[in-house]
Each structure stands twice: as structure tokens, then as C-alpha cells.
Amino acid sequence: MKKLLFPLALLFSIACFAHKPNPVINEKVLKAFNESFADAKNVSWYESGKVISARFECNGIDTQIRYDKNGNVLQTIRYYTEKELPPFIQTKVKEQYKDKEVFGVTELTSGSYLYYYVVLHDDKNWLNVQADPYGNLNLYSKMKKG
């Protein structure tokens, strides 16, 4: 019986500490979120220091938004495929990296800046390219496939 009790107690302890309830989100943040994202699905909230984050799906795109305690947007991050990339940026990437395939895109907006981080690949390499809204592209890393 003692041999069975210890593993059960251990399992119960792990389960209790592994479950973190959603933080209590203040009314300002909830109001700001609901006004902007009424059609959001699968919303998860996180809190870290003075930043409150929501991760959700909006129009089929995985999205994160970060607020301060007053409900002001600090940053948005969206993860999507090539077809959601603005046509101008998509064209610039295809012109400069003709033989590469787009694997995925991360769009980062914060304050007055917007950047697209495009992951490209071919048979031998992975490339990470940063694009701004003006079509300027910057290759910031290249890795060989294993």
C-alpha cells in the first residue's frame, strides 16, 4: 500500500502545480480586447509583470497581443502563411529569393514599426529574412539543413 501511495501523491502534486489558472484580467484590457477582436476564438490570457497578453485565433490567423495594465496595445504578433503576406512584400520576396519556398511568416507590430519575418527554405538551407512595409529585405540568418 505504501508503494502505491507515494506515486499517487507525487502525481497529484505534479497535477496541482502544472495547472495555472487564467490570470484575472482587468476591465480596461478586456474592454480594449473585445472592442477590437469580437470574433476571436480560443483566447488564452497570460500575465507577466506589467504586461497582459492574449493569444487567440482571428480570421484563421494565430495572433498574440500585448497590453499594459491600462489597456493600451504594446505589441501584436501574427503567425501565418505566404498567402496572407501582403502582395507587395510577397512579390519582393519572390523576386529576390526565386528558388526558395516560403515556410512561414511572423508579423511583428509595435509602436510605429511593422516588420515581417519570413522563413524561406530550399533543399539545402533555411533563410530568415526581415522585410519592412517598403519592401526592403534583410537576410539576417542562413542555416544549413541537417
Question: What does the pLDDT look like over 52-110, one tens digit per residue?
Answer: 999 999 999 999 999 999 999 999 999 999 999 999 999 999 999 999 999 999 999 99
Same domain, 87 and 119: yes
Residue 9 counted as domain residue: no
* pTM (two decimals): 0.80
Judge if 90 and 63 occupy the same domain.
no
| Dist. CA 103–CA 141, nearest whole Å | 15
Q: What CATH number is attached to the domain comprising 105?
A: 3.10.450.360
What integer pLDDT is reported at residue 19 of this predicted model? Answer: 41
Instruction: Kindly state whether residues 89 and 51 are assigned to the same domain.
Output: no
In a shared domain, residues 28 and 67? yes
Q: Out of 62, 77, 92, pick the residue that ends a domain.
A: 77
pLDDT tens digits, 4-48: 444 444 444 444 444 444 567 889 999 999 999 999 999 999 999
- Cα–Cα distances in angstroms (integers) from residue 44 to residues 10, 56, 57, in the given order: 28, 6, 10
pLDDT of 23: 62
Residues 89 and 145 in one domain: yes
* Domains in the chain, number: 2
Q: Which three cell numbers stand for residue 96?
A: 529576390
* Lookup: cell for 6: 507515494
What's at 70, amino acid-wise? N
Range of the domain at 34: 21-77
Give dist(CA 100, CA 127) in Å, integer. 9
Mean pLDDT estimate for the chain: 87
